[in-house]
Structure 1
């Protein structure tokens, strides 16, 4: 049974969310101490967090960063803020998805189930141990490499010249698909389908933000402009040593 931690200061909305999660067989708990949230989070040990932005004392962006410093648990923001920049900030601060208020419970549940499948269920299992695309034998190597850049699959880390950075689940999936086709264009549609099985609920800008986050991780390693945007087509990985060009 997956545990869902609800961080929503409107008691009525929190109760509705809790009831809806339990209706679908999840164990749910609503936060009560908004000044100091982490003890509740750690005591409950959730597999997913529903996080409002407008909260007492500290906003949801702050708490997302606090959670990310200790856990890679998926986080879905829930907010009345419908602006594109709010959604971008949510993802840049470590969120995995975004739902606007008023909440459509069917849409929220579709996103919850999708994120759980990617992180813990059938799609996570596929990424960890079943046949990868183009692998007829069902074996997955412990790492992928191109031009000296290594993706350590079991650890969720990228390595370049002895330096390593940790990746979120989405960042690792992006890196995996790009490293499998170094120097080749991977279409946006292919990446969207790889990362989000319910593609109809995903804003195309969400993929762009996740690519930007992966680019920043690569820059931390010292790889500048390793991911190129090929307009109208998609993205390709050109780490140092691979050569190749592309249009930005």
Structure 2
């Protein structure tokens, strides 16, 4: 049974979501003290976190940042705020998805299932190491290492990198990436993919690899393989 942590201060909504998710055999925990969300996160050790933006004391961005500094657990924002910058901010902080309230429960469960299937089944099967542009990609630890050091990637970032590297020197379409990441592109903003790829590229720049992920306008993205040049 997967453990989910629902960080939501609306008691009625929390109880409704908890009841529905429990019917799907998920173990759902809430927050007892919104001043100590991170401490409760470390105690619960959830497999996935669902978090609102507007919360007592500190907002969801604050807690997402704290969680992401210590864990790569999947994070889904669930918020009534509809400004595009909120979605962009959540993705930049390392969230895996953003769902706007009001929402259809079928959409929420579909996204949760897709993330859990991708993250945990994927990690169980893909424990091998890959090399790319002189770097070592560890799909089990979600890390990339070269002479410049080691970076940690989120689940979305490592999955995007895996798809691109598996088809290196070939264009992977935006639609193929969206469907592979989120199963159904109808529920995903095109900007969500852009933010995730840009964040991946920015992380790779720490190792001098950002330039090897190229954008092909109107087509998709391509992971170039480094070649020796004079």
TM-score (norm 1): 0.86
Query: Structure 1 residue 98 and structure 2 residue 84: aligned?
Result: no
- Closer, same or farther in 2 for the Cα pair 1:56/1:239, shift >3 Å? farther
Asked if the contact 1:31/1:37 (under 8 Å) is kept, the reply is: yes
Higher helix share: 2
What pairs up with 1:4-83 in 2 under 5 angstroms? 4-83=4-83
Partners of 2:133 and 2:8 lie apart in 1 by 46
Corresponding residue SS for 1:102: coil
CA offset digits 1:73-99 (Å, max 9, x no partner):
111101011122211111111111111
Q: Which runs of 5+ in 1 are unaligned?
A: 130-141, 244-248
Specify the alignment match of 1:138 in structure 2: none
Q: How many residues align?
A: 229
Distance 1:152 1:40 in 2: 29
Q: Which runs of 5+ in 2 are unaligned?
A: none
CA distance in 2, matches of 1:16, 1:91: 26
For 1:49 and 1:119, locate their aligned partners in 2 and report how far apart those are by CA, in whole Å: 13
The structure whose RCO (Cα within 8 Å, separation 6+) is larger is 2
Deviation at 1:146, TM superposition (A): 2.9
Distance in 1 between the 2:141 and 2:152 partners? Answer: 8
| Deviation at residue 152 of structure 1 after TM alignment | 2.0
Do 1:183 and 1:242's aligned partners in 2 also have CA atoms closer than 8 Å?
no
Aligned counterpart for 2:189 among listed residues 182, 199, 203: 203
Q: For the residues of structure 1 that align with 2:107 and 2:203, how far apart are their CA atoms?
A: 31
Aligned to 1:246: none
Cα deviations by residue, 1:155-204 (Å, 9 ceiling, x for unpaired): 21112324110111111111112222332212112212222223322211
